[in-house]
Amino acid sequence: MATLPDEALSTIWQNDFTVGNLIDYARASRDLSSHIRVLNLEGYKHLVVPSRGAVPFISAASTVWRLEGRSLPTWKERLQQKIAHIESPFMQQLVLPFSADPHDATQTTAAIRKYWSQVLAAIVRRDGKDPYLGFYKVLVERLAKRTWPSSLPRDLPQAKFIFIDTVVSGRAICEIIEAFGEIGLDQCHFLLIADENGKKIVSPYRQVIDNLINLNRCTLIPVDRLFTEDRGPAVSGVWSTVYPQVLDAVRNKYVWANDAYGAGTFYHRVSSSQVEPAKGIGDAAYNMPVTLMYASLSVNIHTALSAFHEREGVKETITSILGHAHPDVDSLVAKQQSSIDERLQRQLDYQLASFREDIKELKPYSPLDRKTTKLLAEPRVLAALPNAIVDVSSSHLVRVSLPDSEITAFMQEVDRELGSGQDVLANDWFRNR
């Protein structure tokens, strides 16, 4: 696995991690926050997140709500806003790794996304005996070594949910839209964060998206440059894992599993360890190169969000002192807002320079290099599955292969789960099952 060359890293810093792009991410996150809050009032109470690239926007959009709450004038209003946030879709997220990872010519990305659509449909319909959902439970528990309740929100999504995804050409989301239509998931609203302000969306996908927009079931949120797409956990905070070898065995046994070759799991991991990568790598809990980059990007976006919030309050502050009729209000507002903009530019310039120096010190363990993704993921996988072989795709999906004996044991577990007739949602953890 080749290391990311220095010239590629230089291009990324020049084109992607820029002040303008960070400010634009903050602006898009504010738009996303507004749309989620409006949809929440219309009865959409859950977020479904299929894309690693969307996670930074959702996190920042949640921050927008909290910033606004903190600036309310009375403690009662601040408390009410905090409660509203806790009860909002931001706190009811279902993350499903819709990422497509076909590894031979017989596999299509559309089929993979149809598989995940079936899993989602079973959750929405509370069909705890559905084989797609039962199989996912075995993946989570047997391979990812996580508890089943930890992989789903306590309040499961209803038919009216918000589906947040990133969009480049439009193919992936249109494959999902088609799958949703085939299985009857027709009450959700799509919030789509579109790269290059939607200019990359091509025909016929543009027409599909436009039709949904006309039906008031889709909203496009433009962004200049979608630099968190397929860049791995260093920019999304999410690790996605697939098990191609295991899934081959499942497909060969069950008719319903023909499209299950993209099925996988996900996890979040941060690290508080401050040791250098050369000392930390090999420890299953170590994750500092990725944590450093993800935290730095989050801080930069938060800086821009805070400046936007301050900017919004300028007119109210000035008019509260001078009154709305004062002739100098508009010029004073413009001057103060310009000052905030200049300060934001200087602050982000400084933070980005420090960020870049921090990343340089991590060489040769660049957080954007899939070789680093493998070095960090492998000890964690091996702690759970000691005989596994780990590889990483070009989009930083972690691929796990296992010996035949463990595949056989896994299949026996699948047989037991599906043969038991157990309702996998019949768990006291789920409040609205």
Q: Which of 31-40, 123-132, 283-292, 315-324 has the lowest mean pLDDT?
A: 283-292
pLDDT category, 207, cuts 50, 70, 90? very high
d(CA 282, CA 304): 36
> Does the predicted model carry a pTM greater than 0.85?
yes
Pairing type for strands 162-167 and 93-95 reads: unpaired
Q: What is the percent of the chain with per-residue pLDDT over 70, rounded to a whole number?
A: 91
Residue 106: predicted pLDDT = 55
Q: How confident is the model at residue 100 (pLDDT cuts 50, 70, 90)?
A: low
Write down the H helix ranges in 125-232. Answer: 131-138, 171-183, 205-214
Cα–Cα distance for residue pair 274/79, rounded to 1 Å? 36
- 241 band by pLDDT with thresholds 50, 70 and 90: confident
Q: What is the pLDDT of residues 133-159, one digit of tens each?
A: 999 999 899 988 889 998 898 899 999
What pLDDT is attached to residue 45? 93
Among the listed residues 88, 301, 49, the one whose alpha carbon sits nearest the alpha carbon of residue 191: 49
**pLDDT attached to residue 268:** 58
The pLDDT value recorded for residue 70 is 84
Q: How far apart are CA 192 and CA 219, in angstroms?
A: 6
Instruction: Tell me the C-alpha distance between 50 and 69, whole Å.
Output: 28
At residue 281 the predicted structure's pLDDT band, cuts being 50, 70 and 90, is confident
Q: pLDDT value at position 161?
A: 96
* CA torsion angle 108 110 112 116 (round to 10): 180
Integer Cα distance of 174 and 218 in angstroms: 12
Confidence bin at 271 (pLDDT 50/70/90): low
Q: Give the Cβ contact number of residue 244 at 10 Å.
A: 19
Supply 389's token pair.
Answer: 């072989």
b/e 259-298 (16+ beta carbons within 10 angstroms → b): bbbbbbbbbebebeeeeebeebbeeeebbbbbbbbbebbb
Whole-number pLDDT of residue 107: 57
Mean residue pLDDT of the chain comes to 87
- Cα 119 to Cα 296, 329, 433: the distances in Å are 34, 56, 15
Q: How many CB atoms lie within 10 A of CB 320?
A: 9
- CA dist 221 → 50, 191, 194 (Å): 17, 7, 6
